[in-house]
Amino acid sequence: MSVFIPGETCWRTEESGRAAFLIDTEAYFTALYEAMQKARRSILILGWGFDPRTRLFPDGYDGPNDPDEVGHVLLRLAEERPDLDIRLLIWKSALPISASQEFFPHKARKWFRGTRVKFHLDDQVPFGACHHQKVVVIDDRLAFCGGGDIGVDRWDTPGHLEDDQRRIKPDQECHAPRHEVMMMVDGAAARALGDHFRDRWLLGTKETIAPPEDAGGDPWPDHVPPHLIHAQVAIQRTTPAWRGRACVQEIRDLTLACIAEARETIYLENQYFTSPVVTEALAQRLAEPNGPEVVLITTGASPSWFDQATMDRTRGAMVWRLRSADIFGRFRALFPRTSGGSKIIVHSKTSVFDDRIVRVGSANLNNRSFGFDTEIELGVQCEGEDARRHVGAFRDRLVGHFLGYTGDAVAKARIERGSLVRAIDDLNRDDRLQRIDPRRHGPFEEFITAYHVGDPADVGDSWRLGRRRERLFAQARALRRR
Protein backbone atom coordinates (compact mmCIF):
# COMPACT_ATOMS: atom_id res chain seq x y z
CA MET A 1 0.00 0.00 0.00
CA SER A 2 1.36 3.43 -0.94
CA VAL A 3 1.95 6.09 1.71
CA PHE A 4 1.25 8.71 -0.96
CA ILE A 5 -2.49 9.42 -0.82
CA PRO A 6 -3.61 12.36 -3.01
CA GLY A 7 -5.54 14.88 -0.95
CA GLU A 8 -4.05 13.58 2.31
CA THR A 9 -0.31 12.91 2.32
CA CYS A 10 0.36 14.44 -1.10
CA TRP A 11 -1.13 16.88 -3.59
CA ARG A 12 -1.02 14.56 -6.61
CA THR A 13 1.00 11.74 -8.12
CA GLU A 14 2.32 11.81 -11.69
CA GLU A 15 4.62 9.61 -13.74
CA SER A 16 8.17 10.63 -14.49
CA GLY A 17 9.84 8.73 -17.31
CA ARG A 18 13.19 9.49 -15.69
CA ALA A 19 14.20 10.69 -12.25
CA ALA A 20 17.65 11.49 -10.89
CA PHE A 21 19.21 12.65 -7.63
CA LEU A 22 21.76 15.47 -7.74
CA ILE A 23 24.12 15.49 -4.77
CA ASP A 24 25.58 18.92 -4.02
CA THR A 25 25.30 22.12 -5.97
CA GLU A 26 28.08 21.50 -8.48
CA ALA A 27 25.90 18.72 -9.91
CA TYR A 28 22.75 20.86 -9.69
CA PHE A 29 24.18 23.97 -11.34
CA THR A 30 25.82 21.95 -14.11
CA ALA A 31 22.57 20.12 -14.89
CA LEU A 32 20.58 23.36 -14.62
CA TYR A 33 22.84 25.17 -17.08
CA GLU A 34 22.59 22.39 -19.66
CA ALA A 35 18.81 22.18 -19.29
CA MET A 36 18.41 25.94 -19.72
CA GLN A 37 20.51 25.84 -22.90
CA LYS A 38 18.00 23.34 -24.30
CA ALA A 39 14.90 25.35 -23.31
CA ARG A 40 12.55 26.15 -26.20
CA ARG A 41 9.43 27.63 -24.61
CA SER A 42 9.84 28.49 -20.92
CA ILE A 43 12.11 28.67 -17.88
CA LEU A 44 10.16 29.04 -14.62
CA ILE A 45 12.02 29.60 -11.34
CA LEU A 46 10.55 29.57 -7.82
CA GLY A 47 12.87 30.48 -4.98
CA TRP A 48 13.31 31.51 -1.37
CA GLY A 49 16.23 33.63 -2.53
CA PHE A 50 17.90 34.44 -5.82
CA ASP A 51 21.11 36.26 -6.67
CA PRO A 52 21.82 36.92 -10.37
CA ARG A 53 25.53 37.08 -9.57
CA THR A 54 25.54 33.36 -8.76
CA ARG A 55 28.20 31.63 -10.83
CA LEU A 56 27.26 28.26 -12.28
CA PHE A 57 30.89 27.26 -12.96
CA PRO A 58 33.07 29.06 -10.40
CA ASP A 59 36.81 28.85 -10.99
CA GLY A 60 38.29 30.58 -7.94
CA TYR A 61 38.41 34.04 -9.51
CA ASP A 62 35.40 36.30 -9.28
CA GLY A 63 35.22 39.46 -11.32
CA PRO A 64 32.52 41.78 -12.62
CA ASN A 65 30.17 40.42 -15.28
CA ASP A 66 31.44 36.85 -15.37
CA PRO A 67 29.61 35.21 -18.30
CA ASP A 68 28.61 32.19 -16.19
CA GLU A 69 26.66 34.33 -13.71
CA VAL A 70 23.10 33.03 -13.82
CA GLY A 71 21.70 36.53 -14.42
CA HIS A 72 23.80 36.92 -17.55
CA VAL A 73 22.88 33.41 -18.70
CA LEU A 74 19.16 34.23 -18.44
CA LEU A 75 19.52 37.60 -20.16
CA ARG A 76 21.50 36.03 -22.98
CA LEU A 77 18.91 33.31 -23.49
CA ALA A 78 16.07 35.86 -23.46
CA GLU A 79 17.77 37.94 -26.15
CA GLU A 80 18.77 35.02 -28.36
CA ARG A 81 15.34 33.31 -28.18
CA PRO A 82 12.41 35.75 -28.44
CA ASP A 83 9.91 32.89 -28.01
CA LEU A 84 11.43 31.84 -24.67
CA ASP A 85 9.31 32.88 -21.66
CA ILE A 86 11.57 33.35 -18.61
CA ARG A 87 9.89 34.06 -15.25
CA LEU A 88 11.24 34.20 -11.71
CA LEU A 89 8.97 34.29 -8.65
CA ILE A 90 11.08 34.91 -5.55
CA TRP A 91 10.09 35.54 -1.94
CA LYS A 92 10.03 39.20 -0.98
CA SER A 93 12.18 38.61 2.07
CA ALA A 94 11.94 40.59 5.28
CA LEU A 95 14.48 43.36 5.85
CA PRO A 96 16.80 41.47 8.29
CA ILE A 97 17.06 38.50 5.93
CA SER A 98 17.39 40.74 2.89
CA ALA A 99 20.24 42.62 4.59
CA SER A 100 22.08 39.33 5.19
CA GLN A 101 21.85 38.72 1.41
CA GLU A 102 23.24 42.17 0.50
CA PHE A 103 19.62 43.08 -0.32
CA PHE A 104 19.40 40.45 -3.02
CA PRO A 105 16.93 39.36 -4.36
CA HIS A 106 15.51 42.90 -4.11
CA LYS A 107 18.38 44.27 -6.22
CA ALA A 108 17.62 41.64 -8.86
CA ARG A 109 14.61 43.68 -9.95
CA LYS A 110 16.97 46.35 -11.26
CA TRP A 111 19.13 43.66 -12.90
CA PHE A 112 16.20 42.49 -15.06
CA ARG A 113 14.30 45.76 -15.42
CA GLY A 114 13.61 46.62 -19.07
CA THR A 115 14.51 43.11 -20.26
CA ARG A 116 12.46 40.15 -21.48
CA VAL A 117 13.05 38.35 -18.18
CA LYS A 118 9.99 38.69 -15.94
CA PHE A 119 11.06 38.99 -12.31
CA HIS A 120 8.58 39.33 -9.44
CA LEU A 121 8.96 39.40 -5.66
CA ASP A 122 6.16 37.49 -3.92
CA ASP A 123 4.85 38.66 -0.53
CA GLN A 124 1.67 36.57 -0.45
CA VAL A 125 2.33 34.91 2.91
CA PRO A 126 1.37 35.83 6.48
CA PHE A 127 3.58 38.24 8.39
CA GLY A 128 6.63 36.38 9.63
CA ALA A 129 6.25 33.49 7.16
CA CYS A 130 8.27 32.93 4.01
CA HIS A 131 8.01 31.34 0.58
CA HIS A 132 10.54 28.55 0.92
CA GLN A 133 9.91 26.49 -2.23
CA LYS A 134 12.80 25.85 -4.64
CA VAL A 135 11.68 24.71 -8.11
CA VAL A 136 12.86 25.18 -11.70
CA VAL A 137 10.72 24.01 -14.64
CA ILE A 138 11.98 23.86 -18.23
CA ASP A 139 9.33 23.74 -21.03
CA ASP A 140 7.03 21.78 -18.69
CA ARG A 141 9.19 18.81 -19.74
CA LEU A 142 11.87 18.84 -17.03
CA ALA A 143 11.86 20.06 -13.45
CA PHE A 144 14.22 20.41 -10.50
CA CYS A 145 13.01 20.40 -6.89
CA GLY A 146 14.84 20.26 -3.58
CA GLY A 147 16.65 22.33 -1.00
CA GLY A 148 19.04 24.25 -3.24
CA ASP A 149 18.79 27.99 -3.73
CA ILE A 150 20.45 29.87 -6.57
CA GLY A 151 22.78 32.02 -4.47
CA VAL A 152 26.39 33.10 -4.26
CA ASP A 153 27.11 31.02 -1.13
CA ARG A 154 25.61 27.71 -2.28
CA TRP A 155 28.12 26.07 -4.63
CA ASP A 156 30.16 23.10 -3.42
CA THR A 157 31.27 19.62 -4.48
CA PRO A 158 30.68 16.26 -2.78
CA GLY A 159 34.32 16.44 -1.65
CA HIS A 160 33.50 19.39 0.64
CA LEU A 161 37.16 20.36 0.65
CA GLU A 162 38.59 22.20 3.62
CA ASP A 163 39.87 25.00 1.38
CA ASP A 164 38.25 25.37 -2.02
CA GLN A 165 38.80 28.71 -3.73
CA ARG A 166 35.92 27.95 -6.08
CA ARG A 167 33.57 28.73 -3.19
CA ILE A 168 34.41 32.39 -3.76
CA LYS A 169 31.72 35.08 -3.41
CA PRO A 170 31.49 38.49 -5.10
CA ASP A 171 33.08 40.11 -2.03
CA GLN A 172 36.16 37.89 -2.66
CA GLU A 173 35.57 35.90 0.53
CA CYS A 174 34.98 32.15 0.42
CA HIS A 175 31.86 30.67 1.98
CA ALA A 176 31.70 27.59 4.18
CA PRO A 177 31.38 24.07 2.74
CA ARG A 178 27.74 23.25 2.09
CA HIS A 179 25.70 20.15 1.33
CA GLU A 180 22.57 20.21 -0.86
CA VAL A 181 20.36 17.67 -2.65
CA MET A 182 18.04 18.22 -5.63
CA MET A 183 15.79 15.83 -7.53
CA MET A 184 15.20 16.02 -11.27
CA VAL A 185 12.08 14.65 -12.97
CA ASP A 186 10.50 14.81 -16.42
CA GLY A 187 7.18 13.99 -18.07
CA ALA A 188 3.88 14.50 -16.27
CA ALA A 189 5.66 15.15 -12.96
CA ALA A 190 7.47 18.12 -14.52
CA ARG A 191 4.19 19.44 -15.96
CA ALA A 192 2.62 19.24 -12.51
CA LEU A 193 5.39 21.42 -11.09
CA GLY A 194 4.74 23.81 -13.97
CA ASP A 195 1.08 23.92 -12.88
CA HIS A 196 2.22 24.69 -9.36
CA PHE A 197 4.36 27.59 -10.58
CA ARG A 198 1.45 29.01 -12.56
CA ASP A 199 -0.81 28.80 -9.51
CA ARG A 200 1.77 30.66 -7.46
CA TRP A 201 2.29 33.25 -10.22
CA LEU A 202 -1.45 33.94 -10.39
CA LEU A 203 -1.63 34.33 -6.61
CA GLY A 204 1.40 36.61 -6.48
CA THR A 205 0.84 38.76 -9.58
CA LYS A 206 -2.88 38.35 -10.44
CA GLU A 207 -1.76 37.33 -13.94
CA THR A 208 -2.90 34.07 -15.52
CA ILE A 209 -0.36 32.32 -17.73
CA ALA A 210 -1.06 29.31 -19.90
CA PRO A 211 1.10 26.19 -20.06
CA PRO A 212 3.72 26.47 -22.81
CA GLU A 213 2.99 25.06 -26.22
CA ASP A 214 4.77 21.79 -26.83
CA ALA A 215 7.84 22.51 -28.92
CA GLY A 216 9.38 19.05 -28.70
CA GLY A 217 12.96 18.51 -27.70
CA ASP A 218 14.39 16.93 -24.60
CA PRO A 219 15.93 19.28 -22.02
CA TRP A 220 17.23 16.41 -19.89
CA PRO A 221 21.00 16.98 -19.39
CA ASP A 222 22.95 14.49 -21.51
CA HIS A 223 25.56 13.82 -18.81
CA VAL A 224 23.06 12.81 -16.07
CA PRO A 225 22.00 9.15 -16.03
CA PRO A 226 18.51 8.53 -14.64
CA HIS A 227 18.39 6.66 -11.35
CA LEU A 228 14.73 5.68 -11.64
CA ILE A 229 12.72 4.82 -14.78
CA HIS A 230 8.93 5.22 -15.07
CA ALA A 231 8.61 6.31 -11.48
CA GLN A 232 5.33 7.41 -9.94
CA VAL A 233 6.27 10.71 -8.31
CA ALA A 234 4.26 12.25 -5.49
CA ILE A 235 4.21 16.02 -4.97
CA GLN A 236 3.42 17.32 -1.49
CA ARG A 237 3.18 20.84 -0.12
CA THR A 238 2.86 23.06 2.90
CA THR A 239 0.66 26.14 2.57
CA PRO A 240 -0.37 28.33 5.54
CA ALA A 241 -4.01 29.15 6.26
CA TRP A 242 -4.31 32.76 5.12
CA ARG A 243 -6.83 35.03 3.45
CA GLY A 244 -9.47 32.36 3.10
CA ARG A 245 -7.13 29.60 1.97
CA ALA A 246 -7.04 26.41 3.98
CA CYS A 247 -3.87 25.17 5.65
CA VAL A 248 -2.17 22.41 3.65
CA GLN A 249 -0.03 20.04 5.74
CA GLU A 250 0.69 17.24 3.30
CA ILE A 251 4.42 17.20 4.10
CA ARG A 252 3.78 16.91 7.84
CA ASP A 253 1.24 14.13 7.43
CA LEU A 254 3.47 12.26 4.99
CA THR A 255 6.42 12.49 7.39
CA LEU A 256 4.42 10.85 10.17
CA ALA A 257 3.12 8.16 7.78
CA CYS A 258 6.63 7.34 6.56
CA ILE A 259 7.97 7.06 10.11
CA ALA A 260 5.15 4.69 10.99
CA GLU A 261 5.75 2.56 7.88
CA ALA A 262 9.55 2.20 8.20
CA ARG A 263 10.77 -1.33 8.89
CA GLU A 264 14.56 -1.16 9.09
CA THR A 265 16.09 2.28 8.58
CA ILE A 266 15.03 5.92 8.78
CA TYR A 267 17.69 8.19 7.26
CA LEU A 268 17.15 11.94 7.67
CA GLU A 269 19.25 14.80 6.31
CA ASN A 270 17.98 18.18 7.36
CA GLN A 271 19.09 21.67 8.26
CA TYR A 272 16.79 21.89 11.29
CA PHE A 273 15.24 19.38 13.67
CA THR A 274 12.84 21.02 16.15
CA SER A 275 9.44 19.37 15.67
CA PRO A 276 8.12 17.75 18.89
CA VAL A 277 5.57 15.81 16.84
CA VAL A 278 8.21 14.22 14.60
CA THR A 279 10.42 13.65 17.63
CA GLU A 280 7.67 11.79 19.45
CA ALA A 281 6.89 9.67 16.39
CA LEU A 282 10.56 8.68 16.14
CA ALA A 283 10.79 8.04 19.88
CA GLN A 284 7.94 5.57 19.68
CA ARG A 285 9.69 3.63 16.92
CA LEU A 286 12.99 3.62 18.81
CA ALA A 287 11.23 2.17 21.86
CA GLU A 288 10.03 -0.85 19.85
CA PRO A 289 12.26 -3.92 20.32
CA ASN A 290 12.28 -4.58 16.56
CA GLY A 291 11.77 -1.03 15.34
CA PRO A 292 13.89 0.76 12.74
CA GLU A 293 17.20 2.47 13.36
CA VAL A 294 17.23 6.26 12.96
CA VAL A 295 20.12 8.30 11.55
CA LEU A 296 19.89 12.10 11.60
CA ILE A 297 22.51 14.16 9.75
CA THR A 298 22.30 17.89 10.41
CA THR A 299 24.43 21.01 10.74
CA GLY A 300 26.75 21.29 13.74
CA ALA A 301 25.92 24.97 14.24
CA SER A 302 23.67 27.21 12.18
CA PRO A 303 25.41 30.08 10.35
CA SER A 304 23.17 32.85 11.76
CA TRP A 305 22.95 33.90 15.41
CA PHE A 306 19.13 33.84 15.25
CA ASP A 307 19.01 30.21 14.11
CA GLN A 308 21.63 29.27 16.69
CA ALA A 309 19.47 30.84 19.40
CA THR A 310 16.22 29.27 18.20
CA MET A 311 16.67 26.20 16.01
CA ASP A 312 19.93 24.84 17.47
CA ARG A 313 18.83 25.21 21.09
CA THR A 314 15.50 23.49 20.49
CA ARG A 315 17.17 20.74 18.45
CA GLY A 316 19.19 19.84 21.53
CA ALA A 317 16.01 19.11 23.47
CA MET A 318 14.68 16.93 20.63
CA VAL A 319 17.93 14.96 20.42
CA TRP A 320 17.93 14.48 24.19
CA ARG A 321 14.38 13.07 23.99
CA LEU A 322 15.36 10.59 21.29
CA ARG A 323 18.50 9.46 23.10
CA SER A 324 16.43 8.83 26.22
CA ALA A 325 14.05 6.69 24.13
CA ASP A 326 16.89 4.81 22.41
CA ILE A 327 17.06 1.86 24.80
CA PHE A 328 18.21 -0.49 22.02
CA GLY A 329 21.04 1.68 20.67
CA ARG A 330 19.55 2.40 17.24
CA PHE A 331 19.75 6.23 17.13
CA ARG A 332 22.53 8.49 15.87
CA ALA A 333 22.37 12.30 15.61
CA LEU A 334 25.47 13.52 13.79
CA PHE A 335 26.97 16.53 12.04
CA PRO A 336 29.64 16.34 9.29
CA ARG A 337 33.07 17.95 9.14
CA THR A 338 35.63 18.34 6.39
CA SER A 339 38.90 16.44 6.50
CA GLY A 340 40.39 19.57 8.09
CA GLY A 341 37.76 19.73 10.83
CA SER A 342 35.49 22.55 9.57
CA LYS A 343 31.75 22.08 9.98
CA ILE A 344 29.80 21.41 6.78
CA ILE A 345 26.49 23.26 6.50
CA VAL A 346 23.82 20.63 5.87
CA HIS A 347 21.13 22.46 3.93
CA SER A 348 19.54 19.43 2.24
CA LYS A 349 16.03 18.29 3.13
CA THR A 350 16.15 14.63 2.19
CA SER A 351 14.87 11.43 3.75
CA VAL A 352 15.08 7.75 2.88
CA PHE A 353 12.91 5.15 4.60
CA ASP A 354 14.31 1.63 4.26
CA ASP A 355 15.21 1.37 0.58
CA ARG A 356 11.60 1.94 -0.52
CA ILE A 357 10.69 5.59 0.02
CA VAL A 358 12.82 8.59 -0.92
CA ARG A 359 11.83 12.24 -0.50
CA VAL A 360 13.64 15.38 -1.64
CA GLY A 361 12.26 18.87 -1.12
CA SER A 362 12.44 22.23 0.61
CA ALA A 363 10.87 21.43 4.00
CA ASN A 364 12.84 21.37 7.22
CA LEU A 365 11.94 19.15 10.15
CA ASN A 366 10.70 22.10 12.14
CA ASN A 367 7.28 23.46 13.02
CA ARG A 368 7.12 26.28 10.48
CA SER A 369 7.82 23.99 7.53
CA PHE A 370 4.75 21.96 8.48
CA GLY A 371 2.18 24.76 8.57
CA PHE A 372 3.54 28.31 8.43
CA ASP A 373 5.89 28.65 5.44
CA THR A 374 5.25 27.45 1.89
CA GLU A 375 7.13 24.26 1.03
CA ILE A 376 7.18 21.67 -1.76
CA GLU A 377 8.66 18.20 -2.04
CA LEU A 378 8.92 15.21 -4.36
CA GLY A 379 8.67 11.61 -3.22
CA VAL A 380 8.85 8.13 -4.73
CA GLN A 381 7.86 4.78 -3.26
CA CYS A 382 9.68 1.87 -4.90
CA GLU A 383 8.65 -1.76 -4.72
CA GLY A 384 10.61 -3.24 -7.62
CA GLU A 385 14.01 -4.75 -6.85
CA ASP A 386 15.93 -2.60 -9.33
CA ALA A 387 14.37 0.67 -8.14
CA ARG A 388 14.95 -0.23 -4.49
CA ARG A 389 18.58 -0.94 -5.25
CA HIS A 390 18.97 2.57 -6.67
CA VAL A 391 17.28 4.16 -3.63
CA GLY A 392 19.55 2.25 -1.27
CA ALA A 393 22.59 3.23 -3.35
CA PHE A 394 21.54 6.90 -3.15
CA ARG A 395 21.35 6.74 0.65
CA ASP A 396 24.67 4.89 0.92
CA ARG A 397 26.34 7.44 -1.33
CA LEU A 398 25.03 10.27 0.86
CA VAL A 399 26.42 8.61 3.98
CA GLY A 400 29.71 7.74 2.29
CA HIS A 401 30.43 11.21 0.98
CA PHE A 402 30.34 12.56 4.54
CA LEU A 403 32.75 9.86 5.73
CA GLY A 404 35.15 10.05 2.79
CA TYR A 405 34.07 6.66 1.41
CA THR A 406 32.22 5.53 -1.68
CA GLY A 407 28.63 4.40 -1.49
CA ASP A 408 29.79 0.88 -2.32
CA ALA A 409 32.04 0.89 0.75
CA VAL A 410 29.10 1.91 2.92
CA ALA A 411 26.91 -0.80 1.38
CA LYS A 412 29.60 -3.41 2.03
CA ALA A 413 30.00 -2.32 5.67
CA ARG A 414 26.24 -2.20 6.12
CA ILE A 415 25.83 -5.77 4.88
CA GLU A 416 28.76 -7.05 6.93
CA ARG A 417 27.74 -5.25 10.13
CA GLY A 418 24.01 -5.84 9.69
CA SER A 419 22.85 -2.24 9.99
CA LEU A 420 23.50 1.29 8.75
CA VAL A 421 24.21 2.55 12.28
CA ARG A 422 26.93 -0.01 12.86
CA ALA A 423 28.36 0.63 9.40
CA ILE A 424 28.67 4.34 10.23
CA ASP A 425 30.27 3.55 13.58
CA ASP A 426 32.78 1.27 11.85
CA LEU A 427 33.70 3.63 9.01
CA ASN A 428 33.81 6.81 11.08
CA ARG A 429 37.43 6.27 12.09
CA ASP A 430 38.46 9.88 11.41
CA ASP A 431 35.46 11.33 13.27
CA ARG A 432 34.21 13.04 10.13
CA LEU A 433 30.72 12.61 11.61
CA GLN A 434 30.45 14.10 15.10
CA ARG A 435 27.74 13.51 17.69
CA ILE A 436 25.28 16.32 18.32
CA ASP A 437 25.75 17.54 21.90
CA PRO A 438 22.38 18.41 23.50
CA ARG A 439 23.99 20.47 26.23
CA ARG A 440 22.04 22.15 29.01
CA HIS A 441 21.03 25.79 28.66
CA GLY A 442 20.41 28.81 30.84
CA PRO A 443 16.94 30.22 31.65
CA PHE A 444 16.71 32.27 28.44
CA GLU A 445 17.61 29.32 26.21
CA GLU A 446 15.21 27.09 28.16
CA PHE A 447 12.41 29.58 27.49
CA ILE A 448 13.20 29.59 23.74
CA THR A 449 13.19 25.80 23.69
CA ALA A 450 10.02 25.38 25.73
CA TYR A 451 7.98 27.81 23.65
CA HIS A 452 9.62 27.22 20.23
CA VAL A 453 10.38 30.89 19.74
CA GLY A 454 10.86 31.72 16.05
CA ASP A 455 9.28 28.43 14.98
CA PRO A 456 5.47 28.79 14.76
CA ALA A 457 3.42 25.79 13.76
CA ASP A 458 0.79 27.77 11.87
CA VAL A 459 -0.77 31.21 11.54
CA GLY A 460 -2.95 30.70 14.61
CA ASP A 461 -0.02 30.51 17.01
CA SER A 462 2.46 32.80 15.24
CA TRP A 463 2.10 35.45 17.97
CA ARG A 464 0.78 33.24 20.79
CA LEU A 465 3.66 31.33 22.39
CA GLY A 466 1.48 29.75 25.04
CA ARG A 467 -0.94 28.40 22.49
CA ARG A 468 1.96 27.08 20.38
CA ARG A 469 3.43 25.15 23.28
CA GLU A 470 0.04 23.78 24.29
CA ARG A 471 -0.88 22.61 20.79
CA LEU A 472 2.50 21.06 19.97
CA PHE A 473 2.65 19.04 23.14
CA ALA A 474 -1.01 18.03 22.79
CA GLN A 475 -0.19 16.64 19.34
CA ALA A 476 2.83 14.81 20.75
CA ARG A 477 0.73 13.33 23.57
CA ALA A 478 -1.86 12.19 21.03
CA LEU A 479 0.83 10.19 19.27
CA ARG A 480 1.74 8.43 22.49
CA ARG A 481 -1.86 7.30 22.97
CA ARG A 482 -2.11 5.62 19.58
For the stretch 425-457, pLDDT in tens is 999 999 999 999 887 667 888 888 888 989 999
If DSSP codes are grouped into helix, strand and coil, which group holds residue 248?
strand
Domain presence at residue 4: no
* Per-residue pLDDT at 105: 79
CATH code, 375: 3.30.870.10
Please give the mean pLDDT across all residues of the chain.
Answer: 94
Q: First CA to last CA across the chain, in angstroms? A: 20
Q: What is the pLDDT averaged over residues 112-124?
A: 96
Q: What is the pLDDT averaged over residues 311-325?
A: 94
Domain identity same for 144 and 259: no
Domain presence at residue 2: no
- Print the domain residue range for 144: 16-229
CB 262 within 8 A of CB 285: yes
| HSE-CB of 211 using CA atoms within 13 angstroms | 13
- Number of domains into which the chain is organized: 2
481 against 328, higher pLDDT:
328
* Per-residue pLDDT at 64: 82
CB 274 within 8 A of CB 313: no
Domain identity same for 156 and 268: no
Domain identity same for 192 and 323: no
Whether this prediction's pTM lies above 0.85 is answered by yes
Domain presence at residue 11: no
* Per-residue pLDDT at 471: 83
Domain presence at residue 112: yes
Angle, helix 25-37 to helix 70-80, in steps of 10 degrees: 10
- Return the beta strands (E) in 345-465 as ranges: 345-346, 350-353, 357-361, 375-381, 433-435
Q: Which residues of 421-455 are buried (b: 16+ CB within 10 A; e: fewer)?
A: bbbbeebbeeebbeebebeeeeeebeebbebbbbb
96: buried, middle or exposed (CB in 10 Å: 19+, 13-18, 0-12)?
exposed
Domain identity same for 380 and 251: yes
Domain identity same for 392 and 435: yes
Domain identity same for 161 and 285: no
* Per-residue pLDDT at 97: 74
d(CA 307, CA 273): 11
